[in-house]
Amino acid sequence: MRELRVRSGKKAEEIAVELGVSVSTVRNWDQGKTAPRMTPMDMQRLMAVYGCSFDELVKAEIEKGLISND
């Protein structure tokens, strides 16, 4: 997730404000401690803010071991 955020050119604080979550939540995503738990509409906003596709988002979570590839 951190790579997606950095690629977007935004700081954790900016992402938090745009998505209405805490900065610590964004940092936990960056560090692979937690995965975003959002509604489908919120996930669309997340992808728009990060400028990524659903596949890129899933790949980032798989790489951090947050979800299974099965």
Q: What is the 3-state secondary structure (H, E, C) of the chain?
A: CHHHHHHHCCCHHHHHHHHCCCHHHHHHHHHCCCCCCCCHHHHHHHHHHHCCCHHHHHHHHHHCCCCCCC
Q: Tell me, what's the pLDDT at 58?
A: 87
**48 Cα distance to chain centroid:** 11
CB 1 within 8 A of CB 61: yes
Domain ranges of the chain: 2-63
Residue 7 structure tokens: 């690629």
2-63 adopts what CATH topology?
A: 434 Repressor (Amino-terminal Domain) (1.10.260)
Q: What pTM value is reported for the model?
A: 0.83
pLDDT tens track, the chain, 70 positions? 999 999 999 999 999 999 999 999 999 999 989 988 889 999 999 999 999 999 998 888 888 766 666 6
